[in-house]
């Protein structure tokens, strides 16, 4: 399509000169016919010329339409393709890259390429087309009088330089504002979205949010106002230069015609060419702004694609051991988040044995979730290493590793999709496997819920789309839990899996969990000691470090932190 587009444009580019030239021939012929009185003039040649000009005009119009058609089709394809490419690349990147605000800015700017810049391609092609047309017209000029070119250049060069100067300035401004623009978008989202409406109403936040939005958007307005005014003022000066150039050339051509050095046909040809050149130049200059802006923004797009993940598939990946023999051994593992001074985990030495159920206990921020993310290689340790059956975790096949570790995070997603899809995300390859989905739902107690929904497993969930039904917090959690049962993972990790469940559901969930994970390794993170005590061993974390490890009874007997926290919670029930 691009090639067709270019071809059509090249043909179209030659037409203005051809039309002007035929016009010149027509006028010269008319003048000639008017001045020959002695014989009966033949008009055949004249009408032939008129016919040719008509044909050229029709062709030019048809080509323009064909070009815009191909342009708009190409634009759509281009937008789709870039969106897909961005998503594909984003999928390869590491979790901590997503948590980095500089990365987010890049992602944001790359995303803008797909929406705002789709016209870039057609703009570039139009520019090339107009440049070719200009080239043709200029050749015509040179043939008649090369000096006119000098006038033309004098009129346009300052404008080109001015435009590119202002482009750079406005790009620098926009770039510097990326972070604040994200904040502006976020504020807009806070002010008007289904997810925020509840709190905004209850805390009466709308005034606060709107004021914040006003303040931010006003800052943008003020900082870009000066530039816009400067640009417009200089634009006026440059346009004046252009007009001066045009009228100087026009005067010169008229002078030459009166002089008798050129014919009236040539006068109309040159004047027409000059007028066209000027309007072409105006178009080119206008487009030059959009294109050069688009082109500099394109750098952001490529910057985004230059970001490379750090957590990669090893060169010779080992298959995930089936079954696990030894388990996971943490050897002096430490981890610090990028941009963070503090260690989230430090000096961790312990083993998660094959088939063992380990509970992680600790106060908020103690590093429980971080430990789990290390196990699933969402991050790699900053120091130390994790061994799986004696071999560094980094040597295993990354896809198999993630397939064999089923994690349900405490901040799991509530997909605005159907009930069955919400479960199927646990093993998306099996999304059509209804018996498997139903079984997973049964295991997590979500099946009773499906029975209550008007469309059962096909019920759309969430309020964002039509006919969606929203669930309660505990119901969503049961659904999320079902994801863990969708695959035959060797290690199951549940991070706060029952926080939203009622007491009966929690009891049942754990009854089943124990049955279903028999022989498998599991990690449970919970603040509820009723959950914690069913684990074989309990690991108590404090400020990222291992404080105590042992069975419930051992830790109680030890009278340490675990015993203290346990008794604190138990006292609440007495």
Ligand X SMILES: Nc1ncnc2c1ncn2[C@@H]1O[C@H](COP(=O)(O)OP(=O)(O)OP(=O)(O)O)[C@@H](O)[C@H]1O
Helical packing angle, 206-259 and 178-191, nearest 10°: 130
Task: Choose, by CB under 6 A, the member of 171, 208, 337, 415 that binds ligand X.
Answer: 337
What tokens appear for 339 in the block?
């941009």
Closest to ligand X by CB, 41 or 560 = 560
CB of 109 to ligand X, least distance (A): 22
Interface segment toward ligand X; rule CB under 6 A; list 2-10, 174-182, 184-192, 337-345:
337-345
CB of 543 to ligand X, least distance (A): 8
CB of 347 to ligand X, least distance (A): 15
3-class DSSP assignment, residue 363: coil
Query: CA torsion sign, 545 to 548 to 549 to 551?
Result: negative
CB of 152 to ligand X, least distance (A): 59
Instruction: Count residues binding ligand X (CB under 6 A).
Output: 12
CB of 494 to ligand X, least distance (A): 13
What residues from 361 to 400 belong to the interface with ligand X (CB under 6 A)?
362, 364-370
What residues from 340 to 359 belong to the interface with ligand X (CB under 6 A)?
340, 344
Closest to ligand X by CB, 96 or 300 = 96
CB of 234 to ligand X, least distance (A): 46
535 burial class (0-12, 13-18, 19+ CB within 10 angstroms)?
A: buried
What residues from 236 to 255 belong to the interface with ligand X (CB under 6 A)?
none
Closest to ligand X by CB, 267 or 307 = 307
CB of 497 to ligand X, least distance (A): 13
Helical packing angle, 206-259 and 147-176, nearest 10°: 170
Closest to ligand X by CB, 280 or 344 = 344
Closest to ligand X by CB, 93 or 209 = 93
What residues from 95 to 134 belong to the interface with ligand X (CB under 6 A)?
99
Exposure class string for 457-496: b at 16+ Cβ within 10 A, else e:
bebbbbeeeeeeeebeebbbbbbbbbbbbbbebbbbbbbb
CB of 529 to ligand X, least distance (A): 14
- Per DSSP (E only), the strands in 390-544 are 391-392, 405-408, 491-495, 521-525, 537-542
Place of tokens 């070009």: 67
Closest to ligand X by CB, 159 or 366 = 366
Contact status, residue 110 vs residue 304, Cβ threshold 8 Å: yes
Closest to ligand X by CB, 370 or 420 = 370
Closest to ligand X by CB, 137 or 523 = 523
| Inter-CA distances, 463 with 191, 221, 467, 470, Å | 17, 35, 8, 6
What tokens appear for 183 in the block?
């904040």
3-class DSSP assignment, residue 259: helix
Give the interface with ligand X as residue ranges (CB under 6 A): 99, 337, 340, 344, 362, 364-370
């Amino acid at each position: 399509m691009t090639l067709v587009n270019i071809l059509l444009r090249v043909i179209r580019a030659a037409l203005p000169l051809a039309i002007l030239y035929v016009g010149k021939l027509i006028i010269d012929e008319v003048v000639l016919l008017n001045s020959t009185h002695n014989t009966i003039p033949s008009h055949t040649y004249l009408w032939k010329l008129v016919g040719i000009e008509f044909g050229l005009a029709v062709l030019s119009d048809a080509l323009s339409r064909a070009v815009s058609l191909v342009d708009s089709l190409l634009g759509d394809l281009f937008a789709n393709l870039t969106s897909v490419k961005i998503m594909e690349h984003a999928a390869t990147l590491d979790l901590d890259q997503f948590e980095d605000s500089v990365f987010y800015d890049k992602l944001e700017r790359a995303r803008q390429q797909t929406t705002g810049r789709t016209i870039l391609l057609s703009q570039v092609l139009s520019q090339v087309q107009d440049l070719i047309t200009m080239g043709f017209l200029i050749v015509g000029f040179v043939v008649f009088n090369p000096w006119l070119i000098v006038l033309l250049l004098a009129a346009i060069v300052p404008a080109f330089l001015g435009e590119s100067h202002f482009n750079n300035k406005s790009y620098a401004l926009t770039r510097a504002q990326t972070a604040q623009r994200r904040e502006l978008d976020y504020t807009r989202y806070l002010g008007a979205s289904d997810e925020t409406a509840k709190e905004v109403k209850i805390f009466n936040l709308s005034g606060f949010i709107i004021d914040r939005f006003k303040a931010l958007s006003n800052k943008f307005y003020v900082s870009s106002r000066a530039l816009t005014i400067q640009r417009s003022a200089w634009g006026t000066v440059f346009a004046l230069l252009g007009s001066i150039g045009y009228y100087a050339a026009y005067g010169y051509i008229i002078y030459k015609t009166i002089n008798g050095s050129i014919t009236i046909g040539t006068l109309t040809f040159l004047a027409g060419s000059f007028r066209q050149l000027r309007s072409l130049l105006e178009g080119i200059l206008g487009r030059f702004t959009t294109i050069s802006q688009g082109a500099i923004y394109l750098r952001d797009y490529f910057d985004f694609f230059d970001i490379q993940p750090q957590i990669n598939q090893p060169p010779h990946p080992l298959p995930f051991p089936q079954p696990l023999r030894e388990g996971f051994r943490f050897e002096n593992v430490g981890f610090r988040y990028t941009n963070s001074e503090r260690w989230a985990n430090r000096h961790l030495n312990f083993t998660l044995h094959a088939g063992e159920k380990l509970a992680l206990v600790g106060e908020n921020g103690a590093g429980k979730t971080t430990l789990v993310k290390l196990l699933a290689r969402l991050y790699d340790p900053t120091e130390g290493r994790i061994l799986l059956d004696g071999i560094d975790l980094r040597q295993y096949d990354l896809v198999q590793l993630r397939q064999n570790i089923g994690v349900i995070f405490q901040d799991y997603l509530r997909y605005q999709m159907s009930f069955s899809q919400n479960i199927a995300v646990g093993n998306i390859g099996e999304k059509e496997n209804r018996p498997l989905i139903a079984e997973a739902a049964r295991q997590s107690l979500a099946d009773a819920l499906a029975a209550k929904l008007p469309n059962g497993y096909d019920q759309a969930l969430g309020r964002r789309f039509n006919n969606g039904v929203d669930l309660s917090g505990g119901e969503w959690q049961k659904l999320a839990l079902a994801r863990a049962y969708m695959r035959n993972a060797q290690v199951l990790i549940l991070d706060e899996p029952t926080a939203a469940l009622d007491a009966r559901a929690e009891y049942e969930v754990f009854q089943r969990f124990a049955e279903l994970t028999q022989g498998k390794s599991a990690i449970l993170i919970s603040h509820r000691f009723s959950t914690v005590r069913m684990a074989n061993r309990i690991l108590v974390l404090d400020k990222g470090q291992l404080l105590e490890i042992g069975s419930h009874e051992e830790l109680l007997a030890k009278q340490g932190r675990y015993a203290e926290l346990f008794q604190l919670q138990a006292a609440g029930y007495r």
